[in-house]
Chain A
Protein backbone atom coordinates (compact mmCIF):
# COMPACT_ATOMS: atom_id res chain seq x y z
CA UNK A 1 0.00 0.00 0.00
CA UNK A 2 2.88 2.33 0.75
CA UNK A 3 4.52 1.59 -2.58
CA UNK A 4 5.54 3.81 -5.48
CA UNK A 5 5.60 6.91 -3.30
CA UNK A 6 6.62 10.19 -4.92
CA UNK A 7 9.51 12.21 -3.52
CA UNK A 8 7.10 14.43 -1.54
CA UNK A 9 5.15 11.44 -0.23
CA UNK A 10 8.44 9.86 0.85
CA UNK A 11 9.23 13.08 2.76
CA UNK A 12 5.82 12.87 4.48
CA UNK A 13 6.42 9.22 5.36
CA UNK A 14 9.74 10.15 6.98
CA UNK A 15 8.02 12.91 8.96
CA UNK A 16 5.34 10.47 10.15
CA UNK A 17 8.10 8.41 11.76
CA UNK A 18 8.21 11.14 14.46
CA UNK A 19 4.68 10.16 15.56
CA UNK A 20 5.07 7.64 18.36
CA UNK A 21 2.33 5.33 19.66
CA UNK A 22 2.74 5.93 23.42
CA UNK A 23 1.48 2.44 24.33
CA UNK A 24 3.99 0.49 22.20
CA UNK A 25 6.63 3.23 22.13
CA UNK A 26 7.51 2.82 18.45
CA UNK A 27 6.50 5.04 15.56
CA UNK A 28 3.22 4.53 13.72
CA UNK A 29 4.92 3.88 10.35
CA UNK A 30 6.92 0.96 11.75
CA UNK A 31 3.74 -0.20 13.49
CA UNK A 32 1.99 -0.38 10.11
CA UNK A 33 -0.80 2.05 11.01
CA UNK A 34 -0.44 4.14 7.83
CA UNK A 35 -2.22 2.51 4.90
CA UNK A 36 -2.00 5.19 2.21
CA UNK A 37 -0.35 8.55 1.50
CA UNK A 38 -1.36 10.62 -1.52
CA UNK A 39 0.02 14.10 -2.05
CA UNK A 40 -1.56 16.27 -4.75
CA UNK A 41 1.08 18.71 -6.03
CA UNK A 42 -1.55 20.94 -7.67
CA UNK A 43 -3.67 21.84 -4.67
CA UNK A 44 -0.93 21.07 -2.09
CA UNK A 45 -3.18 18.61 -0.30
CA UNK A 46 -2.12 15.36 1.37
CA UNK A 47 -4.69 12.63 1.92
CA UNK A 48 -3.80 9.79 4.24
CA UNK A 49 -5.59 6.63 5.27
CA UNK A 50 -4.64 5.33 8.72
CA UNK A 51 -5.84 2.93 11.37
CA UNK A 52 -5.23 2.36 15.09
CA UNK A 53 -4.10 -0.76 16.90
CA UNK A 54 -7.43 -0.98 18.80
CA UNK A 55 -10.89 0.56 18.65
CA UNK A 56 -11.42 3.02 21.49
CA UNK A 57 -7.68 3.64 21.90
CA UNK A 58 -7.48 6.42 24.54
CA UNK A 59 -4.96 8.44 22.53
CA UNK A 60 -6.51 7.74 19.12
CA UNK A 61 -7.52 11.35 18.48
CA UNK A 62 -4.14 12.61 19.55
CA UNK A 63 -2.32 10.23 17.19
CA UNK A 64 -4.52 11.33 14.27
CA UNK A 65 -3.90 15.02 15.08
CA UNK A 66 -0.20 14.34 15.29
CA UNK A 67 -0.25 12.58 11.89
CA UNK A 68 -1.89 15.66 10.34
CA UNK A 69 0.61 18.05 11.96
CA UNK A 70 3.62 15.91 10.98
CA UNK A 71 2.42 15.64 7.35
CA UNK A 72 1.84 19.39 7.08
CA UNK A 73 5.25 20.07 8.63
CA UNK A 74 6.91 17.88 5.98
CA UNK A 75 5.55 20.05 3.13
CA UNK A 76 5.27 23.62 4.49
CA UNK A 77 2.08 25.36 3.36
CA UNK A 78 0.28 22.10 2.55
CA UNK A 79 -3.01 20.87 3.98
CA UNK A 80 -3.29 17.32 5.29
CA UNK A 81 -6.34 15.17 5.75
CA UNK A 82 -6.40 11.86 7.67
CA UNK A 83 -9.12 9.29 7.23
CA UNK A 84 -9.46 6.70 10.00
CA UNK A 85 -10.49 3.24 8.81
CA UNK A 86 -11.01 -0.11 10.57
CA UNK A 87 -10.90 -2.22 7.41
CA UNK A 88 -8.59 -3.91 6.76
CA UNK A 89 -8.27 -4.51 10.48
CA UNK A 90 -4.77 -3.93 11.81
CA UNK A 91 -2.94 -7.05 12.97
CA UNK A 92 0.61 -7.51 14.30
CA UNK A 93 1.53 -9.03 10.90
CA UNK A 94 1.38 -5.48 9.49
CA UNK A 95 4.35 -4.35 11.60
CA UNK A 96 7.35 -3.59 9.38
CA UNK A 97 10.62 -5.51 9.78
CA UNK A 98 12.10 -2.40 11.50
CA UNK A 99 9.16 -2.38 13.95
CA UNK A 100 9.51 -6.12 14.61
CA UNK A 101 13.21 -5.63 15.35
CA UNK A 102 12.40 -2.76 17.75
CA UNK A 103 9.83 -4.94 19.53
CA UNK A 104 12.13 -8.00 19.63
CA UNK A 105 9.52 -10.01 17.71
Chain B
Protein backbone atom coordinates (compact mmCIF):
# COMPACT_ATOMS: atom_id res chain seq x y z
CA UNK B 1 0.00 0.00 0.00
CA UNK B 2 2.87 2.34 0.71
CA UNK B 3 4.82 1.98 -2.54
CA UNK B 4 6.11 5.39 -3.55
CA UNK B 5 6.97 6.44 0.00
CA UNK B 6 10.68 7.20 0.18
CA UNK B 7 10.86 7.43 3.97
CA UNK B 8 9.93 3.76 4.44
CA UNK B 9 13.20 2.85 2.67
CA UNK B 10 15.42 5.69 3.93
CA UNK B 11 18.92 4.66 5.14
CA UNK B 12 20.31 5.58 8.57
CA UNK B 13 21.42 9.23 8.58
CA UNK B 14 24.93 8.09 9.66
CA UNK B 15 25.35 6.58 6.17
CA UNK B 16 24.57 9.86 4.44
CA UNK B 17 25.76 12.71 6.68
CA UNK B 18 29.57 12.09 6.64
CA UNK B 19 29.55 12.50 2.85
CA UNK B 20 28.06 15.99 3.11
CA UNK B 21 30.54 17.00 5.84
CA UNK B 22 33.55 15.68 3.87
CA UNK B 23 32.24 17.41 0.73
CA UNK B 24 31.89 20.78 2.50
CA UNK B 25 35.46 20.54 3.86
CA UNK B 26 36.83 19.46 0.44
CA UNK B 27 35.12 22.44 -1.24
CA UNK B 28 36.75 24.79 1.27
CA UNK B 29 40.20 23.21 0.84
CA UNK B 30 39.91 23.39 -2.97
CA UNK B 31 38.83 27.05 -2.78
CA UNK B 32 41.88 27.91 -0.64
CA UNK B 33 44.19 26.00 -3.02
CA UNK B 34 42.63 27.85 -5.96
CA UNK B 35 44.18 31.04 -4.56
CA UNK B 36 47.71 29.57 -4.81
CA UNK B 37 47.35 28.19 -8.33
CA UNK B 38 45.68 31.24 -9.89
CA UNK B 39 48.75 31.86 -12.08
CA UNK B 40 48.65 28.32 -13.50
CA UNK B 41 44.92 28.50 -14.15
CA UNK B 42 44.91 31.71 -16.14
CA UNK B 43 47.86 30.45 -18.21
CA UNK B 44 46.00 27.14 -18.81
CA UNK B 45 48.99 25.35 -17.31
CA UNK B 46 47.80 21.91 -16.15
CA UNK B 47 50.52 21.50 -13.53
CA UNK B 48 50.59 19.61 -10.20
CA UNK B 49 48.46 22.23 -8.41
CA UNK B 50 45.71 22.24 -11.03
CA UNK B 51 45.67 18.44 -11.09
CA UNK B 52 45.44 18.33 -7.29
CA UNK B 53 42.59 20.88 -7.05
CA UNK B 54 40.70 19.18 -9.89
CA UNK B 55 40.79 15.84 -8.07
CA UNK B 56 39.73 17.39 -4.76
CA UNK B 57 36.79 19.04 -6.51
CA UNK B 58 35.83 16.05 -8.63
CA UNK B 59 36.34 13.35 -6.00
CA UNK B 60 36.22 15.01 -2.57
CA UNK B 61 33.48 17.51 -3.37
CA UNK B 62 31.30 16.38 -6.28
CA UNK B 63 31.62 12.57 -6.07
CA UNK B 64 31.44 12.53 -2.28
CA UNK B 65 28.24 14.60 -2.10
CA UNK B 66 26.76 12.62 -5.01
CA UNK B 67 27.48 9.35 -3.12
CA UNK B 68 25.78 10.68 0.02
CA UNK B 69 22.84 12.15 -1.87
CA UNK B 70 22.39 8.96 -3.90
CA UNK B 71 22.25 6.79 -0.79
CA UNK B 72 19.31 8.98 0.23
CA UNK B 73 17.82 9.30 -3.25
CA UNK B 74 18.00 5.67 -4.42
CA UNK B 75 14.94 4.90 -2.24
CA UNK B 76 13.19 7.91 -3.81
CA UNK B 77 13.99 7.12 -7.44
CA UNK B 78 13.96 3.31 -7.31
CA UNK B 79 11.53 2.79 -4.41
CA UNK B 80 13.71 0.16 -2.70
CA UNK B 81 16.02 0.04 0.31
CA UNK B 82 19.73 0.63 -0.22
CA UNK B 83 21.57 -2.63 -1.03
CA UNK B 84 23.99 -2.50 1.94
CA UNK B 85 24.78 0.18 4.52
CA UNK B 86 28.08 -1.52 5.42
CA UNK B 87 29.31 -1.26 1.82
CA UNK B 88 28.37 2.43 1.90
CA UNK B 89 30.52 2.99 5.02
CA UNK B 90 33.54 1.22 3.50
CA UNK B 91 33.07 3.07 0.22
CA UNK B 92 33.08 6.39 2.11
CA UNK B 93 36.28 5.53 4.02
CA UNK B 94 38.21 4.36 0.96
CA UNK B 95 37.08 7.37 -1.11
CA UNK B 96 38.05 9.79 1.69
CA UNK B 97 41.55 8.32 2.22
CA UNK B 98 42.07 7.79 -1.53
CA UNK B 99 41.16 11.39 -2.36
CA UNK B 100 43.52 12.78 0.31
CA UNK B 101 46.44 10.56 -0.84
CA UNK B 102 45.90 11.29 -4.52
CA UNK B 103 45.49 15.05 -4.14
CA UNK B 104 48.36 15.35 -1.66
CA UNK B 105 50.61 13.41 -3.97
CA UNK B 106 49.66 15.48 -7.05
CA UNK B 107 50.26 18.68 -5.04
CA UNK B 108 53.77 17.59 -3.97
CA UNK B 109 55.02 16.13 -7.22
CA UNK B 110 54.01 15.67 -10.81
CA UNK B 111 56.37 12.79 -11.45
CA UNK B 112 54.60 9.53 -12.24
CA UNK B 113 54.46 6.74 -11.26
CA UNK B 114 54.31 7.46 -7.59
CA UNK B 115 53.43 5.07 -4.76
CA UNK B 116 50.94 7.49 -3.12
CA UNK B 117 49.13 7.95 -6.43
CA UNK B 118 48.98 4.18 -6.91
CA UNK B 119 47.59 3.55 -3.40
CA UNK B 120 45.18 6.50 -3.64
CA UNK B 121 43.98 5.46 -7.09
CA UNK B 122 43.45 1.86 -5.94
CA UNK B 123 41.44 3.01 -2.90
CA UNK B 124 39.26 5.20 -5.12
CA UNK B 125 38.75 2.29 -7.51
CA UNK B 126 37.67 0.07 -4.56
CA UNK B 127 35.33 2.79 -3.34
CA UNK B 128 33.76 3.22 -6.77
CA UNK B 129 33.43 -0.55 -7.17
CA UNK B 130 31.66 -0.90 -3.81
CA UNK B 131 29.41 2.06 -4.60
CA UNK B 132 28.58 0.55 -8.01
CA UNK B 133 27.80 -2.87 -6.50
CA UNK B 134 25.59 -1.23 -3.88
CA UNK B 135 23.69 0.86 -6.41
CA UNK B 136 23.29 -2.07 -8.82
CA UNK B 137 21.98 -4.37 -6.03
CA UNK B 138 19.37 -1.68 -5.27
CA UNK B 139 18.53 -1.26 -8.97
CA UNK B 140 18.06 -5.02 -9.38
CA UNK B 141 15.50 -5.02 -6.55
CA UNK B 142 13.62 -2.09 -8.05
CA UNK B 143 10.47 -2.73 -10.05
CA UNK B 144 10.43 0.78 -11.46
CA UNK B 145 11.92 0.83 -14.97
CA UNK B 146 11.93 4.49 -15.83
CA UNK B 147 14.22 6.49 -18.10
CA UNK B 148 15.50 8.28 -14.96
CA UNK B 149 16.59 4.92 -13.45
CA UNK B 150 18.22 3.92 -16.74
CA UNK B 151 20.32 7.11 -16.70
CA UNK B 152 21.49 6.37 -13.15
CA UNK B 153 22.37 2.72 -13.83
CA UNK B 154 24.23 3.61 -17.04
CA UNK B 155 26.17 6.33 -15.22
CA UNK B 156 27.44 3.71 -12.75
CA UNK B 157 28.91 1.68 -15.62
CA UNK B 158 30.62 4.84 -16.89
CA UNK B 159 32.01 5.42 -13.38
CA UNK B 160 33.58 1.96 -13.41
CA UNK B 161 35.03 2.62 -16.86
CA UNK B 162 36.45 5.99 -15.71
CA UNK B 163 38.17 4.58 -12.64
CA UNK B 164 39.46 1.49 -14.47
CA UNK B 165 40.93 3.75 -17.16
CA UNK B 166 42.53 5.89 -14.43
CA UNK B 167 44.28 2.79 -13.05
CA UNK B 168 45.35 1.73 -16.55
CA UNK B 169 46.80 5.23 -17.07
CA UNK B 170 48.86 4.94 -13.89
CA UNK B 171 50.24 1.55 -15.00
CA UNK B 172 50.76 2.86 -18.55
CA UNK B 173 52.91 5.67 -17.17
CA UNK B 174 55.34 2.93 -16.07
CA UNK B 175 54.98 0.32 -18.84
CA UNK B 176 53.94 2.44 -21.89
CA UNK B 177 51.81 -0.26 -23.54
CA UNK B 178 49.01 1.96 -24.96
CA UNK B 179 49.32 3.73 -28.33
CA UNK B 180 47.58 7.05 -27.52
CA UNK B 181 49.56 9.73 -25.69
CA UNK B 182 48.88 10.58 -22.05
CA UNK B 183 47.06 13.74 -23.23
CA UNK B 184 44.61 11.72 -25.34
CA UNK B 185 44.09 9.22 -22.52
CA UNK B 186 43.47 12.13 -20.16
CA UNK B 187 40.84 13.50 -22.57
CA UNK B 188 39.08 10.10 -22.65
CA UNK B 189 39.31 9.85 -18.84
CA UNK B 190 37.82 13.33 -18.42
CA UNK B 191 35.06 12.75 -21.01
CA UNK B 192 33.98 9.47 -19.37
CA UNK B 193 34.05 11.05 -15.90
CA UNK B 194 32.30 14.33 -16.70
CA UNK B 195 29.77 13.19 -19.30
CA UNK B 196 29.35 9.46 -18.61
CA UNK B 197 29.43 9.45 -14.83
CA UNK B 198 28.53 12.91 -13.52
CA UNK B 199 26.29 14.22 -16.28
CA UNK B 200 24.25 11.05 -16.81
CA UNK B 201 23.82 10.61 -13.07
CA UNK B 202 22.76 14.23 -12.65
CA UNK B 203 20.26 13.86 -15.51
CA UNK B 204 18.75 10.74 -13.88
CA UNK B 205 18.49 12.28 -10.42
CA UNK B 206 17.56 15.83 -11.47
CA UNK B 207 14.85 14.60 -13.85
CA UNK B 208 13.19 12.98 -10.84
CA UNK B 209 13.81 15.70 -8.27
CA UNK B 210 13.35 18.94 -10.21
CA UNK B 211 9.74 18.19 -11.30
CA UNK B 212 9.08 16.91 -7.76
CA UNK B 213 10.35 20.10 -6.12
CA UNK B 214 8.80 22.36 -8.77
CA UNK B 215 5.58 20.30 -8.47
CA UNK B 216 5.30 20.10 -12.24
CA UNK B 217 3.20 17.49 -14.03
CA UNK B 218 2.51 16.27 -17.59
CA UNK B 219 6.12 16.57 -18.75
CA UNK B 220 7.38 15.13 -22.02
CA UNK B 221 9.73 12.27 -21.06
CA UNK B 222 10.45 11.47 -24.73
CA UNK B 223 12.95 14.36 -24.52
CA UNK B 224 14.86 12.36 -21.90
CA UNK B 225 14.77 9.15 -23.93
CA UNK B 226 16.22 10.87 -27.00
CA UNK B 227 18.74 12.64 -24.76
CA UNK B 228 19.86 9.23 -23.40
CA UNK B 229 20.47 7.87 -26.90
CA UNK B 230 22.32 10.96 -28.13
CA UNK B 231 24.62 11.24 -25.10
CA UNK B 232 25.60 7.57 -25.08
CA UNK B 233 26.16 7.29 -28.82
CA UNK B 234 28.07 10.59 -28.75
CA UNK B 235 30.24 9.56 -25.81
CA UNK B 236 31.12 6.10 -27.16
CA UNK B 237 31.91 7.64 -30.56
CA UNK B 238 34.00 10.40 -28.96
CA UNK B 239 36.03 7.94 -26.90
CA UNK B 240 36.64 5.59 -29.84
CA UNK B 241 37.67 8.45 -32.13
CA UNK B 242 39.96 9.93 -29.46
CA UNK B 243 41.53 6.52 -28.82
CA UNK B 244 42.02 5.92 -32.52
CA UNK B 245 43.63 9.39 -32.61
CA UNK B 246 41.28 10.26 -35.47
CA UNK B 247 42.49 13.60 -36.76
CA UNK B 248 39.17 14.24 -38.48
CA UNK B 249 35.92 15.99 -37.85
CA UNK B 250 34.60 12.84 -36.10
CA UNK B 251 35.31 13.86 -32.46
CA UNK B 252 33.55 17.19 -33.11
CA UNK B 253 30.48 15.44 -34.59
CA UNK B 254 30.22 13.13 -31.57
CA UNK B 255 30.70 16.09 -29.23
CA UNK B 256 27.73 17.78 -30.94
CA UNK B 257 25.56 14.70 -30.33
CA UNK B 258 26.43 14.95 -26.61
CA UNK B 259 25.67 18.66 -26.54
CA UNK B 260 22.33 18.03 -28.31
CA UNK B 261 21.46 15.38 -25.71
CA UNK B 262 22.30 17.74 -22.87
CA UNK B 263 20.24 20.46 -24.52
CA UNK B 264 17.18 18.18 -24.51
CA UNK B 265 17.72 17.62 -20.78
CA UNK B 266 17.86 21.40 -20.25
CA UNK B 267 14.62 21.71 -22.28
CA UNK B 268 12.94 19.07 -20.09
CA UNK B 269 13.86 21.02 -16.96
CA UNK B 270 12.86 24.32 -18.52
CA UNK B 271 9.42 22.90 -19.23
CA UNK B 272 9.21 21.72 -15.56
CA UNK B 273 10.20 25.25 -14.51
CA UNK B 274 7.53 26.82 -16.73
CA UNK B 275 4.82 24.44 -15.48
CA UNK B 276 5.83 24.75 -11.83
CA UNK B 277 3.12 25.07 -9.23
CA UNK B 278 5.31 26.73 -6.68
CA UNK B 279 6.03 30.15 -8.13
CA UNK B 280 8.31 31.51 -5.40
CA UNK B 281 11.64 29.66 -5.41
CA UNK B 282 13.46 28.88 -2.15
CA UNK B 283 17.25 29.15 -1.96
CA UNK B 284 17.73 25.48 -2.91
CA UNK B 285 15.74 25.90 -6.11
CA UNK B 286 17.26 29.34 -6.86
CA UNK B 287 20.73 27.75 -6.84
CA UNK B 288 19.46 24.82 -8.92
CA UNK B 289 17.97 27.17 -11.54
CA UNK B 290 21.29 29.05 -11.57
CA UNK B 291 23.04 25.71 -12.15
CA UNK B 292 20.98 25.16 -15.30
CA UNK B 293 21.79 28.65 -16.56
CA UNK B 294 25.48 27.78 -16.06
CA UNK B 295 24.95 24.49 -17.90
CA UNK B 296 23.73 26.50 -20.90
CA UNK B 297 26.99 28.48 -20.68
CA UNK B 298 28.91 25.19 -20.46
CA UNK B 299 27.22 23.96 -23.64
CA UNK B 300 28.16 27.15 -25.50
CA UNK B 301 31.82 26.77 -24.40
CA UNK B 302 31.70 23.10 -25.39
CA UNK B 303 30.43 23.95 -28.89
CA UNK B 304 33.10 26.62 -29.39
CA UNK B 305 35.81 24.27 -28.04
CA UNK B 306 34.63 21.44 -30.31
CA UNK B 307 34.53 23.70 -33.41
CA UNK B 308 38.21 24.52 -32.85
CA UNK B 309 37.81 27.54 -35.13
CA UNK B 310 40.87 28.95 -36.89
CA UNK B 311 39.41 32.39 -36.20
CA UNK B 312 39.71 31.83 -32.44
CA UNK B 313 43.12 30.14 -32.70
CA UNK B 314 44.59 31.86 -29.63
CA UNK B 315 41.38 31.44 -27.63
CA UNK B 316 40.64 27.75 -28.15
CA UNK B 317 42.62 26.64 -25.07
CA UNK B 318 40.75 29.25 -23.03
CA UNK B 319 37.40 27.87 -24.26
CA UNK B 320 38.54 24.34 -23.31
CA UNK B 321 39.33 25.63 -19.81
CA UNK B 322 36.13 27.68 -19.58
CA UNK B 323 34.19 24.53 -20.52
CA UNK B 324 35.83 22.45 -17.76
CA UNK B 325 35.48 25.19 -15.15
CA UNK B 326 31.87 26.03 -16.01
CA UNK B 327 30.99 22.34 -15.74
CA UNK B 328 32.87 21.55 -12.48
CA UNK B 329 32.89 24.86 -10.60
CA UNK B 330 29.76 26.16 -12.33
CA UNK B 331 27.00 23.66 -13.06
CA UNK B 332 27.92 20.79 -10.70
CA UNK B 333 28.92 23.08 -7.82
CA UNK B 334 25.78 25.26 -8.07
CA UNK B 335 23.59 22.16 -8.29
CA UNK B 336 25.23 20.60 -5.22
CA UNK B 337 25.03 23.87 -3.28
CA UNK B 338 21.32 24.05 -4.10
CA UNK B 339 20.32 20.42 -3.76
CA UNK B 340 22.01 20.24 -0.33
CA UNK B 341 19.20 22.52 0.89
CA UNK B 342 16.61 20.21 -0.69
CA UNK B 343 17.98 17.00 0.85
CA UNK B 344 20.11 17.42 3.99
CA UNK B 345 17.56 19.39 6.11
CA UNK B 346 14.92 16.73 5.37
CA UNK B 347 17.26 13.89 6.35
CA UNK B 348 18.04 15.47 9.73
CA UNK B 349 14.50 16.76 10.23
CA UNK B 350 12.96 13.32 9.62
CA UNK B 351 15.41 11.76 12.08
CA UNK B 352 14.62 14.31 14.82
CA UNK B 353 10.95 15.12 14.28
CA UNK B 354 9.18 12.50 12.18
CA UNK B 355 7.39 10.94 15.17
CA UNK B 356 6.65 14.33 16.79
CA UNK B 357 4.57 15.88 13.98
CA UNK B 358 1.14 16.94 15.24
CA UNK B 359 2.11 16.19 18.87
CA UNK B 360 4.56 19.04 19.53
CA UNK B 361 5.37 22.43 18.07
CA UNK B 362 8.41 21.66 15.90
CA UNK B 363 10.56 23.65 13.49
CA UNK B 364 10.15 23.21 9.70
CA UNK B 365 13.07 21.71 7.68
CA UNK B 366 13.92 25.18 6.34
CA UNK B 367 14.45 26.44 9.91
CA UNK B 368 17.44 24.14 10.36
CA UNK B 369 19.76 26.54 8.49
CA UNK B 370 20.16 30.27 8.02
CA UNK B 371 18.46 31.50 4.85
CA UNK B 372 20.46 34.77 5.07
CA UNK B 373 23.75 32.85 5.03
CA UNK B 374 22.52 30.77 2.08
CA UNK B 375 21.48 33.95 0.23
CA UNK B 376 24.91 35.46 0.90
CA UNK B 377 26.75 32.47 -0.58
CA UNK B 378 24.41 32.52 -3.59
CA UNK B 379 25.85 35.94 -4.50
CA UNK B 380 29.45 35.22 -3.44
CA UNK B 381 29.35 32.09 -5.63
CA UNK B 382 28.14 34.07 -8.66
CA UNK B 383 30.85 36.70 -8.06
CA UNK B 384 33.57 34.04 -7.74
CA UNK B 385 32.47 32.18 -10.86
CA UNK B 386 32.10 35.27 -13.08
CA UNK B 387 35.51 36.63 -11.98
CA UNK B 388 37.17 33.28 -12.71
CA UNK B 389 35.78 33.15 -16.23
CA UNK B 390 36.88 36.77 -16.84
CA UNK B 391 40.33 35.89 -15.39
CA UNK B 392 40.73 33.06 -17.90
CA UNK B 393 39.95 35.25 -20.90
CA UNK B 394 41.98 38.25 -19.68
CA UNK B 395 44.85 36.08 -18.32
CA UNK B 396 44.97 38.20 -15.15
CA UNK B 397 46.06 36.13 -12.10
CA UNK B 398 44.89 38.85 -9.69
CA UNK B 399 41.28 38.37 -10.89
CA UNK B 400 41.59 34.61 -10.30
CA UNK B 401 42.89 35.36 -6.79
CA UNK B 402 39.94 37.66 -6.02
CA UNK B 403 37.65 34.97 -7.47
CA UNK B 404 39.14 32.36 -5.12
CA UNK B 405 38.46 34.68 -2.15
CA UNK B 406 34.78 34.68 -3.18
CA UNK B 407 34.88 30.90 -3.47
CA UNK B 408 36.43 30.69 0.02
CA UNK B 409 33.62 32.90 1.38
CA UNK B 410 31.07 30.68 -0.41
CA UNK B 411 32.63 27.50 1.00
CA UNK B 412 32.77 28.95 4.53
CA UNK B 413 29.11 30.06 4.47
CA UNK B 414 27.97 26.80 2.87
CA UNK B 415 30.03 24.84 5.40
CA UNK B 416 28.47 26.86 8.23
CA UNK B 417 24.96 25.93 7.08
CA UNK B 418 25.94 22.29 6.48
CA UNK B 419 27.33 21.98 10.02
CA UNK B 420 24.28 23.83 11.43
CA UNK B 421 22.01 21.23 9.85
CA UNK B 422 24.12 18.15 10.64
CA UNK B 423 24.60 19.15 14.30
CA UNK B 424 21.05 20.48 14.79
CA UNK B 425 19.79 20.07 18.36
CA UNK B 426 16.22 18.90 18.80
CA UNK B 427 13.89 21.83 19.52
CA UNK B 428 10.35 20.85 20.54
CA UNK B 429 7.72 22.86 22.40
CA UNK B 430 4.29 21.89 23.73
CA UNK B 431 1.57 22.21 21.09
CA UNK B 432 -0.53 24.74 23.05
CA UNK B 433 1.79 27.35 24.53
Contacts and interface: CB of A to CB of B under 8 A. Distances in A.
Give the interface residue-count category, chain A. 20 to 34
Interface residues on B, range: 20 to 34
A69 B215 CA distance: 25
B217 A91 contact: yes
Contacts of A69: 357-359
Contacts of B7: 58-62
B429 to A, nearest CB: 16
A96 interface: no
A22 B345 CA distance: 12
B199 to A, nearest CB: 22
B408 to A, nearest CB: 31
A95 B365 CA distance: 24
Interface stretch (B36-44, B48-56, B72-80, B240-248): B72-80
B79 A65 contact: no
A5 interface: no
Contacts of B416: none
A73 B358 CA distance: 9
Interface in B336-380: 343, 346, 350, 353-355, 357-359, 364-366
A103 B6 contact: no
B1 interface: yes
Contacts of A73: 358
Contacts of B278: 23-25, 103
A60 B6 contact: yes
A103 B278 CA distance: 7
B141 interface: no
Contacts of A91: 217-218
Interface of B: 1-8, 75-77, 79, 208, 211-213, 215, 217-218, 277-279, 343, 346, 350, 353-355, 357-359, 364-366
Interface of A: 19, 22-25, 52-62, 64-66, 69-70, 73, 83-84, 86, 91-92, 95, 103-105
